[in-house]
Amino acid sequence: MGRYITRRLIQAIPVLLGATLLIYAVVFALPGDPIEALAGDKRIDPHIVDVLRERYHLNDPFLVQYWHYLTGLFRGDFGVTFAGVPVGEVMAGKFQVTVNLAMTALVIEAVIGIGLGLYAALRHGRAQDTLILASTLVLISIPTLVTGFVLQLLLGVRLKQAGLDLFPVAGVTGDLRGYLLPGFVLAGTSIAYLARLTRASLAETLRADYVRTAIAKGLPRRRVVGRHALRNALIPLVTYLGADLGTLMGGAVITETIFNLPGMGQQLFTSVYLREQPVVVGTVTFLVLVYILANLVVDLLYAVLDPRIRYG
Amino acid sequence: MGDSPAPATGHARHARRPSRFRSSGSSRGSGRRGRAQEIRPASLWSDAWQDLRGRPLFVGAAFIIIVFLAMSAFPRLFTSVNPFDAATCQLSDARQGVSGLHWFGTDNLGCDVYARVVYGARNSVVIGVTTTVATALFGGLLGLVAGFTGGAVDTLFSRITEIFFAIPSVLGALLILSVFRTGNVWTVVLALAVLAWPMTFRIARAAVITAKSQDYVLAAVGLGASAPRIMFRHILPNAVAPVIVVATINLGTFVAAEAGLSFLGVGLNSPDISWGLMIADARRRFLEAPGPLLFPALFLSLTVLAFIMLGDAVRDALDPKLR
């Protein structure tokens, strides 16, 4: 187990290096000068420019700059913004918002997606099954951009006008209630995919020999489905959910924009405009790390769900 | 593919040119035409086509796609208003509701929403189709080479795709597009294709590896066929189906991605017309006048839906195991 984790982490290093190098190269190629962007409309003392350029290694060639960044990263230092704030500090606050949003989405996705899929699989081939299949197809097709605005209008505003203030429309509120609507919007497509996956996976396990045995033993249906079929059908679903965590966190920009949530996507967006290399690279590196770790956790969960899988 | 039906159909297909498989049975002896057609083994593609024609899902999707293709090729068939002509917008008409004159109402600047939505189809279709073709060709060919060659080449390319998979796609596209001062159709295509090819690569590679170990490939190797010949004549035709399925489904996601990027302000820019841009423009007055936002949103969703439905239907028809 320990050796497996070590091997996986070592395998992740080239991915992490490649991804940061790519992102760093793209940010390096961004038009405009960061010092000029910092100064805005004001004229800036050339001497100060020189000092700043020296301090942030802006005069060095690309690979040297990258090397400086990378060595800092291994010390846990994401660098500082041009305003002098550590990037780690800038990201921490934004990170909280994005994590809240992504986790809300993940929970909504798991509950509704698996629930719908389970129901469809148990009603295989009947009207309810067809209805669920058709609605998931529609749900997959509607972009976040559309569901976001439509639900904001219907559930956030019209419902409030009708006297039911259930879902805050924008911004961060004290409690998690403000994340419900954006979380649902973010989860939209994934709910549909997960429902379809659950349906297919469960339909397959329901045909397995051990399920037939369980029925023949006279076990109650609830136990057959819950204990014997569902647990085995869970494996592909866990893979999907784990991989989706990274997608949800990285794909939240549009949802964050619609619902005005100050998360990592929003941060990245402004940082690209301000050409703050450390923040941009730091944010993406962080998301790449989340992706890699989520996938590792999923692989380890396999062993828990399916005792046949063992890691040496 | 990969089970018993695949080699049979594959064999029948690569025995002759793929483009002639429909009439190949009848081309030799015209006198025995009727009988020849009866015995002729159905190829995977003609079989799939027979299957597709009877599916309501496919027919519906194809109908919507044809309408959108016509709209993007000849927008003037659908509306006489030219939205690029500023004279057609009257500020005094801003945010009017649905009427006989303005079918979908007017936007914040008093422009006709229907005309703009119709003209917006072109950019979506062009970006969707170009990106799909680019990723299918690039990712597909690389996947073919990597899967066929194996060894170091395969490992190298597979590692590279892992890097791309780890980068969140919306943020990656946002970054790439920020490099260009102004966005246009081609920068959007580039950004989407750069991030999307690894998926096609993986699927093509897996299909090629499956096809590589089939008996007919081993037979071709035994007969002394050259590597390019085996790759393009024997493996490619039998590994292309999964790539086509994924490409069709992805086309819809590319259309949605373009709208999202234009909405964020890094995709297309005014005076270009794009559904994403229209949504972004209508956003500020959305709560008082939802029309200018909802109509492009409806068209966007319909396009994506049509391509995903098409992909679904094509997959069901091409995958014999699902029948």
Mind listing the pLDDT tens digit for each residue in B134-157?
A: 999 999 999 999 999 888 999 899
Report the sign of the C-alpha dihedral through residues A12, A64, A264, A266, in that order: negative
**pTM, entire model:** 0.82
Chain A hits for B155, Cβ within 8 Å: none
The answer to whether B270 faces chain A, any CB pair under 8 Å, is no
**What pairs with residue B112 in β-bridges?**
B106
The mean of the pLDDT values for chain B is: 80
Domain of residue A219 covers: 92-274
Banded pLDDT at B192 (limits 50, 70, 90): very high
Rounded mean pLDDT of A42-70? 77
Banded pLDDT at A166 (limits 50, 70, 90): low
Q: Which of A146, A160, A271, A293 is the mutation pick for testing B, counting most B CBs within 10 A?
A: A146
Chain A hits for B159, Cβ within 8 Å: 14-15, 18
CB A72 within 8 A of CB A78: yes
**Per-position b or e across A249-272, b if 16+ CB within 10 A of its CB:** bbbbbbbbbbbebbbbbbbbbebb
Percent of chain A with pLDDT over 90: 12
B37-41, B126-130, B186-190: segment of lowest average pLDDT = B37-41
Count how many domains chain A has: 1
Q: Of B220, B247, B222, B248, whose CA–CA distance to B235 is shortest?
A: B220
Residue given tokens 């699989």 in the structure block: A121
Chain B nearest-CA distance from A218, in A, is 32
CB A163 within 8 A of CB A84: no
Tell whether A215 is covered by a domain.
Answer: yes
Tell whether B30 is covered by a domain.
Answer: yes
The answer to whether B301 faces chain A, any CB pair under 8 Å, is yes
Chain A hits for B293, Cβ within 8 Å: 149
Highest mean pLDDT among A216-220, A226-230, B89-93, B109-113: A216-220
* CATH at residue A197: 1.10.3720.10
Test B305 with A137 for CB contact under 8 angstroms: yes
Test B175 with A19 for CB contact under 8 angstroms: no
What element of type H or E holds A227?
none
Chain B hits for A257, Cβ within 8 Å: 263-264
Number of neighbours of residue A62 by Cβ within 10 angstroms: 12
Rounded mean pLDDT of A33-50? 72
Banded pLDDT at A112 (limits 50, 70, 90): very high
Q: In terms of C-beta density within 10 A (0-12 exposed, 13-18 middle, 19 or more buried), how is residue B265 classed?
A: middle
Domain of residue B163 covers: 61-322
Banded pLDDT at B39 (limits 50, 70, 90): low
* Chain A residue at shortest CA distance from B176: A26
Q: Of A246, A289, A265, A243, whose CA–CA distance to A17 is shortest?
A: A289
Tell whether A305 is covered by a domain.
Answer: no
Q: Are residues B18 and B106 in the same domain?
A: no
Tell whether B171 is covered by a domain.
Answer: yes
Count how many domains chain B has: 2
Q: Are residues B249 and B113 in the same domain?
A: yes
Closest CB to B171: pick one of A30, A253, A257: A253
Can you give the length of chain B in residues?
323
Q: Are residues B36 and B74 in the same domain?
A: no
Banded pLDDT at B3 (limits 50, 70, 90): very low
In angstroms, rounded to a whole number, what is the distance separating the alpha carbons of residues A142 and A256? 17
Tell whether A217 is covered by a domain.
Answer: yes
Q: Is A80 helix (H, G, I), strand (E, B) or coil?
A: strand
- Residue A250: the pLDDT is 81
Tell whether B72 is covered by a domain.
Answer: yes
Provide φ and ψ at A252, rounded to 5°. -85, 0
* Chain A residue at shortest CA distance from B288: A153
Amino acid at B67: V
Closest CB to B301: pick one of A19, A143, A283: A143
